[in-house]
Amino acid sequence: MKQNQHFGFGDKTEIQDIGGGLKRQMLGYNHELMAVKIWFDKGAEGYVHAHRHSQVSYVVEGEFHVNVDGVIQILHAGDSFFVPPHVDHGAVCPTGGILIDTFSPPREDFVEDLA
């Protein structure tokens, strides 16, 4: 997806297999904001990590065991979570599911992966 693209079409926008039962599709981004759709296979794990970006994630479907700064909550479709910059976080998806992740500023490493 080009940085100045205003529209994304789910059936035409590249879906990247990022390993470990995870797939990622860029929904849109500029220099301030990024939205990404992430598919988790049953049992897949987004390992605990931290980054400089603020993050809000929305559960589209499935069950996620989300760890933010050592606090674990079980989330379902319609739930969301916020991660401040530099805070450890991760998620396990025992059912398989989908998250929409938003980042500010955008994740530079995600953009580099598109090149």
**pLDDT, tens digit, for every residue of 96-107?**
999 999 999 999
Question: How do residues 47-70 score in pLDDT, each as one tens digit?
Answer: 999 999 999 999 999 999 999 999
Q: Which two tokens stand for residue 63?
A: 């069950």
pTM of the model: 0.90
Q: What is the share, in percent, of the chain residues with pLDDT greater than 70?
A: 94
3-state secondary structure of 112: helix
pLDDT of residue 10: 83
Residue 103 burial by Cβ neighbours in a 10 Å radius (0-12, 13-18, 19+):
buried
